[in-house]
Amino acid sequence: MTVLRASAERLAASTAALETLPGFANHEPSADEFAVLDPSTEQRIATLPSYSAEYAVEQVAIADEAGRAWAATTPRYRSDVLHSVYAHLMANRDRLAFVISREMGKTLAEAQGEVQYASDYVRWYADELLRPAGGYRENPAGGSTILTKRAPVGLALLIAPWNFPMAMITRKIAPALAAGCGSVIKPAGLTPLTTLLTVELMAEAGVPRELMRIVTTKNPGPFSEAVLGDPRVRKISFTGSTEVGSTLMGLAAKNIVKSSMELGGNAPVLVFDDADLERAVEGVFLAKMRNGGQSCVAANRIFVQDGIADAFAEALAEKMASVQLGDAVAEGADLGPVIDRRAVDRLTALVADATDRGAELRAGGAAPDEPGYFFEATLLDRVPGDSDIANTEIFGPVAAMSRFGSEDEAIALANGTPFGLAGYVFTESLDRALNVADRLETGLVGINNGVPSNVAAPFGGMKQSGLGREGSHEGLEEYQEIRFYNIARRDTA
């Protein structure tokens, strides 16, 4: 398949957006720097400092002091600042989208959607922080009144992934600011530019710069050990792999740091015979192909009931085959590159292993021999349960489909994993939809819905997919401590 290439005008506009970044540089990196690459071209687009662990601890001190002053501000003041941030982010929507596309590889249309989604978290928490959280109750035994309230947890360490470089950082910064917390922020080394621009825009809109301290580094291990070893850090929010999350939880345990972890997924999709075929195909396509499949809630294991399976496979194969590869900022591109060369090699190996074991290749299946980290939209049918792709998080535009007979078989297949982040159910039966959703061991379920995430809903997983929630009022509580006062009452009898 030929890869669409970006026009000179699109490239110039996106390069101009990059060059507005604070402290922008693009030269061969020294030993204390690292390069950021454009996955559409494999070319360097920026050079950033790789800060030491000692520098990170200095930022802890700055953010901690600023956080104490910020915690003393009124809820209305913090709300007004966050509303200003939302407006400023939206005013810079095109600039942000260009940066996201160039460093991460998602199409410009998807990047613009991420800017809206990311900004919506800011707007949500600007309102949510004004809603009262606390209580006033009588001691059941009498003699006193119990008053409960929430207080900022303290300095937060925020570690973001590369796949949604704006949304995943605002989903952490916004509730931290709403609760009254300062933060030290470590963006992913593959996509740090979006975080730099987002935080710069937030500062321009009124958030004190001392409150949000970014540390870019190519040495995440020493960084995490130093920052989590500092007793001033009272909260960590991490989105990434289960393996890294487990390590961070071990480091956080030393100082009993409050932790929220959004970790790996292995999302099952259950398509029943009574599903609306067109609706199911569209929903599964969205669940698989959003962000090029590079999402922790992407449709990973697609189980289709026998009676509808052939028609479903044919329709999904046609849809996948129509996907146009292209540079992230190219006009007309449906699918941009994956994040790096390792991802291409991994997808190639997964497809080869599955077909060697008997899976049917219905669409795609290859990486074009062109510059950039591209991989075709791919559908594998009748994927054997012992293949590598059936037992790992794919994180790419490869759909792995297999078949089932009964509802009980489908549930057993869906829950046969140590992960439990997202699941999907497609059926026209409300009774079946709710019963199956209740039996799935996942933190969220999309019912006839391929994109269930919402800022007003608590996002998070079960089992090895993590702990804690982001979004909704539960996301604000992750940055708060519950306190209660027991107020003795004079006997008036």
Q: Which residues does the annotation mark as catalytic?
A: 262, 296
Q: Which ranges constitute the DSSP H helices of 255-366?
A: 277-289, 306-321, 341-356
Rounded CA gap, 180 and 75, in Å? 9
**C-alpha–C-alpha distance, residues 423 and 280, integer Å:** 14
Residues with Cβ within 8 Å of residue 308, at least 6 apart in sequence? 271, 272, 273, 275, 277, 280
Distance between CA atoms of 426 and 463, rounded to whole angstroms? 23
Question: 373, 338 in Cβ contact below 8 A?
Answer: yes
72-81 own/partner pairs: CB under 8 Å, 24+ apart: 72/180, 73/180, 75/129, 75/130, 76/130, 78/129, 78/177, 78/178, 78/180, 79/126, 79/127, 79/129, 79/130, 79/178, 80/126, 81/177, 81/205, 81/206, 81/207
Helix (H, G, I), strand (E, B) or coil at 114: helix
Dihedral over Cα of 210, 216, 222, 224: its sign = positive
Distance CA 326, CA 434 (A): 39
Q: Which helix (H) or strand (E) is 234 found in, with range?
A: strand 233-239
CB 459 within 8 A of CB 121: no
Which two tokens mark 34?
């690292």
